[in-house]
Amino acid sequence: MYVADDKRYDSMQYRRSGRSGIQLPAVSLGLWHNFGGVDNFENSRAMLRRAFDLGITHFDLANNYGPPYGSAEETFGQILKKDFLPYRDELMISTKAGWDMWPGPYGDLGSRKYLLASLDQSLKRMGLEYVDIFYHHRPDPDTPMEESMGALDTAVRSGRALYAGISAYNAKQTSEAVKILRDLGTHCLIHQPKYSMFVRDPEQGLFDVLEKEGVGSIVFSPLAQGLLSDRYLKGIPSDSRAARDFFLKKKDIGEAALAKVRALNEIAAQRGQTLAEMAVAWVLRHPRVTSALVGTSKVSQVDDNVAALKNLKFSAEELRKIDGILAGKQSA
């Protein structure tokens, strides 16, 4: 039987999600990859156990994580039943709908019909009565935002979700969505944008909106799917995400990217960190970032990513050097 480490709250840092009662761990774990029906169940289970033992109280899912679609929620449901049920009230579990999930016009995008049916399916797969956060996974340009936000509000009011969130909405869409939710009486707890040293879009207005509206942010792919680590410095390992050549493409591991990765790796070494640790620390340096949402394929990566918290401070000189490297202007 799994018994969680009784020191699990000793070193993790918790940060408040905007103006809300919820604090999230500085590092959260996402189940997009490596928790599907095709993956090794005991490895998935070991990563979740290790994460919780280190104080990671937040696990992030979506309806279509797998493969096959839905299977990450099924895996999570099985592990929850075996290991985590006594700890349910210590966990923040999120899921999402918004991308393609089932065939036909009601299994994708942003209709009320899709979002609420999908949430009911997710709850069944995970064996849960409610999720802590239900997200609209991406904006739908053809559905009135009132309808998608109305569905999130219903999810919360009906008790299927405790909080509402949005993902991949730009700054303007976020302002609108937050206002619609507020008018309905539901606060938008959190936004989930993509953010890393390689993808800095949220700095162009989104973070300002989140600050103004009191909405937290949990940033996904802070390691740029593994590129911001030492994983690809000596080629493409056969067990890596890039080897699968789908979400992270082999062509993305070109010389231009690797030159930056090598220079960043040197700065990380000077800071006494791995590059993965520095990549996590770098997103957390931003005051608008509540949590870094990492993925992992092995237990050692969970350890490494949490070890980032040992050094979150960057000097102005380090930040200047990093900006120079990212702009392709200088080496370390």
Ligand X SMILES: NC(=O)c1ccc[n+]([C@@H]2O[C@H](COP(=O)([O-])OP(=O)(O)OC[C@H]3O[C@@H](n4cnc5c(N)ncnc54)[C@H](OP(=O)(O)O)[C@@H]3O)[C@@H](O)[C@H]2O)c1
Cβ closest to ligand X, residue 183 vs residue 245: 245
Per CB under 6 A, 73 contacts ligand X = no
Per CB under 6 A, 296 contacts ligand X = yes
Per CB under 6 A, 58 contacts ligand X = no
Pinpoint the alpha helices (H) of the chain: 41-53, 71-79, 112-126, 145-157, 171-184, 206-213, 241-244, 255-270, 275-284, 299-307, 316-326
Contacting range for ligand X; rule: CB under 6 A; set: 27-35, 109-117, 125-133, 259-267: 27-35
Cβ closest to ligand X, residue 51 vs residue 293: 293
Per CB under 6 A, 222 contacts ligand X = yes
- Could you say which DSSP state residue 34 is in? S
For the bound state, the minimum distance from the C-beta of residue 301 to ligand X, rounded and expressed in Å, comes to: 4
Per CB under 6 A, 149 contacts ligand X = no
Query: Could you tell me if 207 and 286 are in contact, meaning their C-beta atoms sit under 8 angstroms apart?
Result: yes
State the DSSP string of 142-187: TS-HHHHHHHHHHHHHTTSEEEEEEES--HHHHHHHHHHHHHHT--
- Structure-token pair, residue 262: 């090598």
Task: Please report, as a single letter, which amino acid is at residue 99.
Answer: W
Per CB under 6 A, which of residues 234..263 are in contact with ligand X? 240-241
Reference 18, options 222, 189, 143, 269; nearest CA is 189
Handedness of CA 117, 109, 156, 296 (dihedral sign): positive
Cβ closest to ligand X, residue 180 vs residue 197: 197
For the bound state, the minimum distance from the C-beta of residue 293 to ligand X, rounded and expressed in Å, comes to: 4
Contacting range for ligand X; rule: CB under 6 A; set: 126-134, 182-190, 208-216, 288-296: 288-296
Q: CA-based angle 241:82:94, to the nearest 5?
A: 55
Contacting range for ligand X; rule: CB under 6 A; set: 9-17, 145-153, 225-233, 309-317: 225-233
Per CB under 6 A, 224 contacts ligand X = yes
Site for ligand X (CB under 6 A): which residue of 30, 36, 55, 216? 30
Per CB under 6 A, 63 contacts ligand X = no
What's phi and psi for 207, nearest 5 deg? -60, -35
Site for ligand X (CB under 6 A): which residue of 36, 110, 202, 295? 295
Reference 296, options 17, 71, 81, 39; nearest CA is 39
- Total residues in contact with ligand X, by rule CB under 6 A: 29
Per CB under 6 A, 229 contacts ligand X = yes
Q: Which residues bind ligand X (CB under 6 A)?
A: 30-33, 60, 137, 167-168, 192, 220-226, 229, 231, 240-241, 276, 293-297, 301, 304-305
